[in-house]
Amino acid sequence: MKKYKIIENMLTGAILDDYSRSLDLIWFNFIKDQTIFALHIQCFLRIETKEDILSTSNDIYMCVNKEKDFNWEVVGDSKFDKDKEHILSLLKGSKVVSVKFNNKGDVKILFENSISLSIFRDITSNDEVWRFFKYKAGEEHYVQYLEFKKE
């Protein structure tokens, strides 16, 4: 899809550096040619291999320690947070080999180790679902709402 080509070009060949969350916003940082790129996601996502689902955005709301009160807003308390270290050990330093978009604004990022990050626009309203940008003040942001926009 032509409108997404600039993101595809920036992200292909980039290395995953880190990921985490703030409340239900999940962010990924990539590095390419000494430039940091950020992908902020506020919709359903899945991190997977060909055989298994490693994590989803719904894991944020899953308690792993039934012994204490669960508050999904606290980073560190959810299944998503508990699985992060293992998943980051698989993904950190992995190169992006392909980025695919469909006409609904869904994204699939494939890493060299055959792990993929799939992002699904899961709303029909005109709200932001994901945002991609160079991690530097004043740079353009590429944002998927109901329609794709440059801001």
Higher pLDDT, 56 or 78: 56
Look up residue 22 and give its two tokens. Answer: 């703030």
* Residue 151 reports pLDDT greater than 70: no
- Domains of the chain by residue range: 2-150
pLDDT at 146: 74
Average pLDDT, the chain: 91
Task: Give the burial class of 19: count Cβ atoms within 10 A of its Cβ; 0-12 exposed, 13-18 middle, 19 or more buried.
Answer: buried
Q: Which of 30, 78, 31 is nearest to 56 (CA)?
A: 78
Residue 34 pLDDT exceeds 70? yes
